[in-house]
Amino acid sequence: MKVLIIEDNARVSALLKRGLESQGYQIYISEDAEDALIMVEKIEFELIITDIMLPKMSGIELSKLIKEKNPELPIIMLTALGTIDEKIDGFDAGADDYMVKPFEIRELYARIKAILLRKSSSQSKNETSNSVEYQNLKVDKNTNRVFRNQKEINLTPKEFKLLVFLMSNAERLLTRDEIGENVWGNHFDTGTNYIDVYIAYLRKKIDKDFDEKLIHTKPGMGFIFTNQLK
């Protein structure tokens, strides 16, 4: 299984390489974003681990470019800061997980396994269902395009993933923990307000211009995707 590490600190990349090779992964190293883009075009990676602070281009910009061509390629971002705004920027760029330095290498192993398991499960589901529809809202999982009343709506990768989960569980009350685990992963930080922020983003794009609202909040309980509430 091929993993690309994008890190300009040679000591950090060497530690990650040694640790991940001990777990059976085939590791490739890149020191800057431009070189990484070339490698991604030539080699079929199963996972990318990238620092945010990189020469020539940030890890966030790099992730956006990678996800445009390879939306299903998992990306884990590494940072020394870990502010909420930075994490949201990372998730908007398509990051599947986020780790703040310094971190325990065993936790990285666990997160990689969880991401790859989710990817495998998602691919199995996509083989049988490539689209999700609810009333006048349609999602094409092959192209990551969203339409309501035939009007296309542009979503970030994380907004798209959240919408697919809500639609796949339409008319069922979903708790914040359940959404966090399925959209952000098993290591979702329950002390943050990411879910509420992204629900607000989705409402502006999915419901704002339509009389019939689909995304509803149940105070103290969670969220429900339905046209049955007024």
Query: For residue 139, what pLDDT is reported?
Result: 93
Is it true that domain 129-225 has CATH number 3.30.70.2190? no
Q: Cα–Cα distance between 32 and 115 in angstroms, integer?
A: 24
Name the residue ranges covered by the structural domains of the chain: 2-125, 129-225
Beta strands in the chain (DSSP E): 2-6, 26-30, 47-51, 75-79, 97-100, 131-134, 137-140, 145-148, 151-153, 215-218, 222-225
Query: For residue 50, what pLDDT is reported?
Result: 96
Query: For residue 55, what pLDDT is reported?
Result: 85
Prediction pTM value: 0.65
Tell me the C-alpha to C-alpha distance, in Å, between residue 82 and each of 38, 63, 79, 116, 131: 28, 17, 6, 23, 34
Query: For residue 121, what pLDDT is reported?
Result: 63
Is it true that domain 2-125 has CATH number 3.40.50.2300? yes
Q: Hey, what are 71's tokens?
A: 């939306």
Query: For residue 129, what pLDDT is reported?
Result: 62
Query: For residue 155, what pLDDT is reported?
Result: 93
Note down pLDDT in tens along the chain; length 230 residues.
899 999 999 999 999 999 999 999 999 999 999 999 999 999 999 999 999 999 889 999 999 999 988 888 999 999 887 677 888 888 888 888 889 888 899 999 999 988 888 776 655 555 456 788 888 999 998 888 999 998 999 999 889 999 999 998 988 899 998 898 888 876 667 677 888 999 999 999 999 988 899 999 998 889 999 987 65
Query: For residue 188, what pLDDT is reported?
Result: 66
Q: How far is CA 150 from the centre of its chain?
A: 26
Query: For residue 205, what pLDDT is reported?
Result: 95
